[in-house]
């Protein structure tokens, strides 16, 4: 007897295509084109960004006041088999959930009490995609913004949802110690940049912040030397990773890095240039947006599926939208999907069956009248 063929759900087909065609930050042209075509086929009018990959698409009546965010990019990994691209942070799932939500809303546009705008942005993994998109003004007239992200089982076991994710803040700092190389037999004739960097790393580890707030500051890159072991390097470049669970503590860390650099300049008579990149704020969760997601979770999955706000030391540039527009009510739906072995692992996998109910929660949140 031939078993009847089961049709693959649309949301799974979308996810499978995205998983098979990952693209790195700022190069998500194929991903953008694929999603935009889905919406055109549904009778919608996606509007691409001129400056970089990504687009917005509106559904429902009137000026959009509720927004959805999807993140387009994948990650680059070095593996024993070579360099690979993979959606190892689950952005293929996030995108499929948001895309399916938009398509379902388009099918029920008569029931929508207000317009909804989906923002498909590049470069979340580099921490600056949201800030670049927010600067275009595409969220300036929204009063609510919802994001979505899969969570590891250790944070949120399936099949539960959390109505917000409390991400930590992240900031990368690149630095350069500028000096002249000199002979290994004459160390008195200059400054050893490696020794300056080592003292920088030691002082960085000694920064003190509120002990009740998780935080860390550490060197993650150091480059010095020319390959000749009889030359003392006068210059070096380095990288620092700063993490803090709150924005005030991140400010303490950022100021501390600057103070250390100035102190070492005076101590050694060198120049130390610093440049911040990919600053991502800690979560700024809108209580009204969180409440709407909680209500939607109860409606779709029941009270037992509703978990408290998820807390993670990881960061997400989703919160740059609120930093850009403080009045915006924003919250990110956390989806328990038994992510294993973990986010940003090239072998990352998750329970694909959790995508459909996640889209149902976002649809319910978008359909709910605004308070």
At residue 266, does pLDDT exceed 90?
yes
Boundaries of every domain in the chain:
10-167+283-367, 170-280
pLDDT higher than threshold 70 for residue 132: yes
Decide if 287 contacts 164 (C-beta within 8 A): no
Q: What is the mean pLDDT of residues 17-22?
A: 98
Asked if pLDDT for residue 110 goes beyond 90, the answer is no
Task: Evaluate if residue 5 carries a pLDDT over 60.
Answer: no
Over range 330-341, report the average pLDDT. Answer: 97
Q: CATH number of the domain at 10-167+283-367, please?
A: 3.40.630.10
φ/ψ region of 322 (left if φ > 0, alpha if ψ in -120 to 50, else beta) reads alpha
Interval 132-153 mean pLDDT: 97
Using CA atoms, how far apart are residues 212 and 173, in angstroms rounded to an integer?
A: 24
Give the dihedral sign, CA 368/107/39/91.
positive
Q: Which whole-number Å values give the CA distances from 205 to 208, 241, 367, in the listed order?
A: 8, 12, 49
When pLDDT is cut at 50, 70 and 90, the band that residue 245 belongs to is: very high
pLDDT greater than 90 at residue 21: yes
What is the CATH T-level fold of the domain 170-280, as seen in this structure?
Answer: Alpha-Beta Plaits (3.30.70)
The confidence score (pLDDT) of residue 4 equals 58
- How sure is the predictor about 193, in pLDDT bands with cuts at 50, 70 and 90? very high
Mean pLDDT of the chain: 95
Distance CA 195, CA 182 (A): 14
pLDDT range class, residue 19, cuts 50, 70, 90 = very high
Tens digit of each residue's pLDDT (9 = 90 or more) over 167-191 = 999 999 999 999 999 999 999 999 9
Phi, psi dihedral angles at 183 (to 5 degrees): -70, 140
The number of beta carbons lying within 10 Å of the beta carbon of residue 16 is 14
HEC string for the chain: CCCCCCCCCHHHHHHHHHHHCCCCCCCCHHHHHHHHHHHHHCCCCCEECCCCCCEEEEECCCCEEEEEEEECCCEEEEECCEEEEECCCCHHHHHHHHHHHHHHHHHCHHHCCCEEEEEEECCCCCCCHHHHHHCCCCCCCCCEEEEEEEEECCCCCCCCEECCEECCEEEEEEEEEECCCEECCCHHHCCCHHHHHHHHHHHHHCCCCCCCCCEEEEEEEEEECCCCCCEECCCEEEEEEEEECCHHHHHHHHHHHHHHHHHHHHHHCCEEEEEEEEEECCCCCCHHHHHHHHHHHHHHHCHHHECCCEECCCCCHHHHHHHHCCCCEEEEEEEEEEEECCCCCCCCECCHHHHHHHHHHHHHHHHCCCC
Nearest-angstrom CA–CA distance, 189 and 183: 8
For 163, half-sphere exposure in the C-beta direction (CA atoms, 13 angstrom radius) is: 24
Q: Which residues of 79-93 are buried (b: 16+ CB within 10 A; e: fewer)?
A: eeeeeebbbbbbbbb
């Amino acid at each position: 007897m031939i078993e009847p063929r089961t049709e693959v759900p649309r949301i799974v087909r979308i996810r499978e295509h995205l998983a098979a065609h990952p693209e790195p930050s700022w190069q998500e042209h194929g991903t953008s084109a694929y999603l935009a075509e889905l919406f055109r086929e549904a009778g919608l009018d996606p509007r691409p960004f001129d400056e970089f990959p990504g687009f917005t698409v509106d559904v429902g009546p009137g000026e959009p006041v509720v927004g959805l965010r999807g993140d387009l990019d994948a990650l680059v990994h070095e593996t024993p088999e070579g360099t690979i691209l993979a959606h190892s942070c689950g952005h293929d799932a996030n995108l499929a959930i948001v895309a399916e939500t938009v398509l379902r809303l388009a099918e029920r546009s008569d029931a929508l009490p207000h317009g909804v705008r989906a923002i498909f942005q590049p470069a979340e993994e580099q921490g600056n995609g949201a800030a670049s998109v927010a600067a275009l003004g595409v969220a300036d007239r929204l009063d609510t913004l919802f994001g979505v992200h899969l969570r590891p089982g250790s944070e949120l076991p399936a099949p539960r949802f959390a109505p917000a994710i409390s991400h930590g803040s992240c900031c990368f700092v690149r630095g350069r110690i500028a000096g002249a190389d000199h002979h290994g037999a004459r160390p008195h004739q200059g400054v050893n940049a490696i020794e300056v960097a080592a003292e920088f790393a030691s002082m960085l580890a000694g920064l003190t912040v509120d002990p009740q707030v998780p935080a860390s500051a550490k060197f993650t890159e150091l480059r010095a030397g020319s390959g000749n072991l009889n030359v003392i390097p006068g210059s070096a470049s380095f990288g620092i990773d700063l993490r803090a669970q709150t924005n005030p503590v991140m400010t303490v860390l950022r100021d501390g890095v600057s103070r250390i650099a100035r102190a070492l300049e005076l101590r050694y008579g060198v120049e130390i240039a610093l440049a911040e990149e990919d600053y991502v704020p800690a979560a700024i969760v809108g209580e009204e947006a969180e409440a709407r997601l909680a209500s939607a979770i109860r409606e779709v999955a029941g009270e037992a599926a509703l978990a408290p706000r998820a807390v993670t030391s990881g960061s997400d540039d989703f919160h740059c939208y609120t930093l850009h527009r403080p009045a915006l009510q924003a919250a990110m739906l956390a989806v328990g999907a038994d992510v294993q072995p973990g986010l940003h692992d090239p072998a990352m996998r998750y329970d694909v069956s959790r995508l459909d109910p996640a889209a149902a929660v976002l649809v319910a949140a978008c359909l709910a009248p605004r308070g």
